Chain A
């Protein structure tokens, strides 16, 4: 699965400039986690808009790994973008103090949504739009928090699989420490995407490329050597997370209803 990095780089920079400019903006805010996805989004934005027009916000929680912050700082230093650190510990802990004991999933979701609140607030302060950092693999698997890390105004990397993100990151010269580490949501100590998902990105990206991009049938997938259980698991995940990829369901009452038959692009009149 090769990727034409120079082309993708050129197109995505054009995408950021154009979609932003049409909406009357020239700046973005991006949440920088220390991981590869947000690093790539930040690199693309800095190259497209100039580093002075990018605000990278680092939002550690008390259990976040120190490497996350140091890797994010390396991106800031390399690019010369503006940056801020906003701790989310008091937001999250302040809420849960008055609640019944919450499991790690609830706490993780709250962290992702606390970060969303910070980013959208900072976007008002900085006169900017929030830049997305969700890749195609996690969008398809629903491996993200609805209205949390999945929330953004424009997302330059949403049609790139995790494997593509690695290729583009190398092309963009993202710091080596970020390229080398294991992908993690870093919502609790020692968390690893691949352990949690139960398969590797390399495996699932190959399957998703066949299944989604090439519309290869189940029969052909088995012939290509994909395990039946694995295919079923991934298909179930995609189907089960469709709600995360669509807006809220509106009940149709009138002849013309928002989300049913009110067909206009966001770029309407731009």
Chain B
């Protein structure tokens, strides 16, 4: 593959707890993305299950290596890459808020959400176990990093992905809109946009952000999915309400150019960061 490829952000509204219906939604959306020329289609966080699952978590969990419901989806991904969100159950019966990268008809990589928001309206740690690893996955689009929603609000995750070689980072999200007292849409949507633009520019990478649509018990998901390029520019954005499929062409040469003009990654000092972090961790454990 050349350095150019097309991504599709699938801003869908899954039904809470209904795996079969949501699987069909994925199949339909993947077919549409393919017909529109996408090489990679990205779904939101927990796209296969819905978000505020609570006690439904064990009922909708799947073992990705042995899930009878998955083969149709995997087969649909023989000629397109796909990222979707699901509940993973491990062999230790831990449940994870997870994201899978699928290509060539197989799950190539699973990311388990690292930071589970448990404050305000969020209660994830009550129902999910925390992921422990952050790894990029090799793809035709270069090394790719997966993050889930709150993960991105800890920029160390993106830092690690980028240091590990990621040129494209995909964030799956189910972020409800909050704050209606400014003229620019939900306050939370503005927060995401600020974050995505700034981080793309700092790290000179492509950030793909897929947020869901729909409502769960009055929690309104305002979409606002977007692709942000390596100098912090919004390349494509979806509607801020309802389902949508937005496409964008990415060009890895844009990253090369961005890093020529702003070689902050080249100059990054991992040894310094590591040394100081080690000191801080040691001091905290002693205090």
* Chain A interface residues toward B at CB < 8 A: 1-4, 7-8, 10-11, 14-15, 18-19, 154, 262-270
Contact = CB atoms under 8 A, between A and B. Distances in A.
Interface residues of B, number: 25
Interface string B174-197: 000100111111100000000000
A11 B218 CA distance: 10
A262 B220 contact: no
Contacts of A3: 180-181
A2 B187 CA distance: 13
Interface of B: 15-18, 52, 54-56, 177, 180-186, 214-218, 220, 222, 241-242
A268 B56 contact: yes
Given A3-B180, A4-B185, A263 B54 contact: yes
Contact of A15 (B182, B185, B220): B220
Given A10-B241, A265-B54, A265-B216, A270 B181 contact: no
A270 B16 contact: yes
A262 B55 contact: yes
B185 A14 contact: no
A152 B186 CA distance: 26
Contact of B180 (A8, A19, A264): A8
Contact of B185 (A2, A7, A154, A268): A7
Nearest to A1: B181
A230 B287 CA distance: 43
B177 A11 contact: yes
Contact of A11 (B16, B52, B220): B220
A7 B177 CA distance: 11
Given A15-B215, A263-B54, A265-B217, A7 B186 contact: yes
A14 B181 contact: no
A11 B242 CA distance: 10
Given A11-B220, A19-B215, A265 B52 contact: yes
B180 A7 contact: yes
A8 B222 CA distance: 12
Contact of B17 (A7, A14, A266, A269): A269
B181 A4 contact: yes
Given A7-B185, A11-B177, 8 more contacts: A3-B180, A4-B183, A11-B220, A15-B220, A263-B55, A266-B217, A267-B216, A270-B15
A14 B56 contact: no
A3 B181 CA distance: 5
Contacts of A1: 181
25 contacts: A2-B182, A4-B181, A4-B184, A7-B180, A7-B186, A11-B220, A11-B222, A14-B215, A14-B220, A14-B242, A15-B215, A15-B220, A18-B214, A19-B218, A154-B218, A263-B54, A263-B55, A266-B217, A267-B52, A268-B16, A268-B17, A268-B56, A269-B17, A269-B18, A270-B15
Contacts of A11: 177, 180, 220, 222, 241
Residue among A1, A11, A266 with max Cβ neighbours from chain B (10 Å): A11
A2 B181 contact: yes
Nearest to B181: A2
A268 B177 CA distance: 20
Nearest to B51: A265
B210 to A, nearest CB: 19
A19 B214 CA distance: 10
Given A7-B186, A10-B241, A267 B217 contact: yes
Given A10-B241, A266-B217, A4 B18 contact: no
Contacts of B16: 265, 267-270
Residue among A8, A15, A270 with max Cβ neighbours from chain B (10 Å): A270
Contacts of B215: 14-15, 18-19, 267
Contacts of B186: 7
A82 B52 CA distance: 36
A234 B8 CA distance: 51
A2 B241 CA distance: 22
Nearest to A261: B55
Contacts of B184: 4
A8 B184 CA distance: 12
Nearest to A12: B220
A45 to B, nearest CB: 15
A236 to B, nearest CB: 25
